[in-house]
């Protein structure tokens, strides 16, 4: 067991146990491996803080979405539905509009409006109105759009989903396309590995495989040794005092959770807490042990980053061009979206009132530009960047010796 903490390593007069990061920050690394060790534990703590920040933000975001955003979406949908019903009522009344051109304009607006409303949620009454004014029924229109989208996705990504496959919406289509790409990539990787195995299964390659397996076992053994030391020191059954036993039970739970998660940094922090190691121990780790620790910490950092990225990913739609997205940026973007919806509701309410007046409706139709429906299937070219695998790095040819 390490000697008690010394004042030179800690704040004078403070009983606070320092973490591994804090201990390492107080000493300059002696070599490259120690510098890597210090950098990795610092980045892991930063990544943990980032993950906690987003994890703590999720309840607030969900509350704002359910309490503010969804009600506004529903309210806007209802007002736009009322506008569609008003247009249908006007078109059903002979003489309300002058000339075929205005009727055709209003009919085009009505069909486009209903298509957008039905894309959000089904409504049998609106679908019946749509079919009354359009050559294709809504169901046929959707089927046609999805067929075009499937062709476009297959051409862009170079995959074949099959003639028998049909999706009901773009999201379902993209999920299927991603699954197909992953399956193809996995199959190609398997084939490459089989070819390489047949081509390079020499004694030298077998020795290299054996060395890698041995290194992996040694790395795993390094974590097990830390765990065993902690388990030996903290096992609650060896303590007769009830309060101390309870404390050790809680500490042992933390140890078990960290060991199962492969969380080396937490195990080292617990060792510091119980004074099983100290600053000198961390600064004088054997070269091989330090190499093992660095490899484990690299993997731990990669897993933490992937986990954090998965939490952040859904918010990227709100702030697509942010380099370093923060919850505050998402909150502001959400506020902007709420303001936009409120402005749209005010505009639709004004339209509902104005369009009851035939002269105002005629003036609006005269000034209106041709209606163009915003269709999520129109431009799928971005898929090539989203799903295309990264190009393999080119190996530099060795330079000629002069």
Extents of the domains making up the chain = 137-201
Look at 380 and 336; give whichever has higher pLDDT: 336
Q: What is the mean pLDDT of residues 67-75?
A: 95
Look at 380 and 225; give whichever has higher pLDDT: 225
b or e along 358-397 (b: 16 or more beta carbons within 10 Å of the residue's beta carbon)?
A: eeebbebbeeeeeeeeeeebeebeebeeebeeeeeeeeee
Distances, alpha carbon 198 to alpha carbons 189, 206, 207, in Å? 14, 12, 16
Of 340, 327, 387, the closest CA to residue 185 belongs to 387
Residue 9 DSSP symbol: G
Under a CB-based contact definition with an 8 Å cutoff, are residues 42 and 297 in contact? Answer: no
Of 264, 345, 352, the closest CA to residue 300 belongs to 264
**pLDDT at residue 81 greater than cutoff 70:** yes
Instruction: Express each pLDDT in 232-251 by its tens digit.
Output: 888 887 777 888 888 888 98
Percentage of the chain modeled with pLDDT above 90: 31
> Per mean pLDDT, which of 86-100, 164-178, 198-212 is the most reliable?
86-100
Residue 318, classed as helix, strand or coil, is coil
- pLDDT band, very low/low/confident/very high, at 49 (cuts 50, 70, 90): very high
Of 339, 341, 317, 315, the closest CA to residue 328 belongs to 315
- pLDDT band, very low/low/confident/very high, at 16 (cuts 50, 70, 90): low
Instruction: Express each pLDDT in 129-161 by its tens digit.
Output: 999 998 888 888 878 777 777 777 777 777 787
Query: Using CA atoms, how far apart are residues 125 and 141, in angstroms rounded to an integer?
Result: 17
Average pLDDT, the chain: 80
- pLDDT band, very low/low/confident/very high, at 203 (cuts 50, 70, 90): low
pLDDT at 282: 86
For the entire predicted model, the pTM comes to: 0.66
């Amino acid at each position: 067991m390490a000697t008690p903490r010394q004042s030179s390593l800690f704040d004078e007069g403070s009983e606070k146990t320092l973490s591994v990061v804090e201990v390492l920050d107080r000493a300059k690394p002696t070599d490259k491996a120690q510098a890597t060790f210090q950098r990795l534990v610092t980045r892991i703590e930063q990544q943990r803080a980032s993950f906690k920040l987003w994890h703590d933000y999720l309840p607030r975001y969900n509350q704002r979405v359910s309490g503010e955003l969804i009600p506004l979406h529903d309210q806007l949908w209802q007002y736009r539905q009322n506008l569609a019903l008003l247009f249908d009522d006007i078109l059903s009344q002979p003489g309300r509009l002058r000339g075929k051109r205005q009727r055709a304009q209003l009919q085009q607006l009505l069909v486009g409006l209903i298509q957008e409303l039905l894309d959000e949620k089904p409504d049998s009454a609106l679908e019946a109105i749509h079919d009354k004014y359009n050559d294709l029924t809504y169901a046929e229109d959707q089927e046609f759009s999805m067929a075009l989208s499937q062709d476009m996705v297959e051409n862009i990504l170079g995959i074949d989903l099959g003639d028998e496959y049909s999706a009901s919406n773009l999201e379902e289509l993209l999920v299927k396309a991603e699954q197909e790409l992953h399956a193809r990539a996995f199959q190609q990787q398997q084939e490459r590995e089989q070819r390489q195995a047949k081509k390079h299964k020499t004694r030298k390659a077998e020795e290299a495989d054996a060395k890698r397996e041995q290194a992996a076992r040694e790395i795993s053994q390094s974590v097990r040794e830390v765990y065993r030391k902690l388990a030996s020191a903290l096992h609650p059954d060896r303590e007769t005092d009830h309060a101390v036993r309870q404390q050790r039970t809680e500490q042992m739970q933390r140890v078990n959770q960290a060991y199962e998660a492969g969380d080396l940094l937490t195990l080292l922090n617990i060792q510091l807490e119980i004074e099983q190691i100290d600053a000198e121990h961390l600064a004088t780790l054997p070269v091989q042990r330090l190499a093992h620790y660095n490899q484990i910490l690299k993997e731990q950092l990669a897993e933490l980053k992937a986990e954090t990225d998965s939490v952040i990913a859904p918010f990227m739609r709100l702030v697509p061009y942010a380099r370093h997205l923060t919850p505050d940026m998402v909150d502001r973007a959400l506020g902007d979206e709420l303001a936009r919806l409120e402005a749209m509701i005010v505009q639709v309410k004004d339209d509902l009132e104005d369009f009851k007046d035939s002269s105002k409706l005629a003036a609006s139709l005269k000034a209106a530009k041709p209606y163009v429906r915003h269709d999520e299937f129109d431009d799928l070219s971005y898929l090539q960047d989203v799903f295309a695998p990264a190009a393999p790095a080119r190996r530099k040819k060795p330079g000629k010796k002069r």
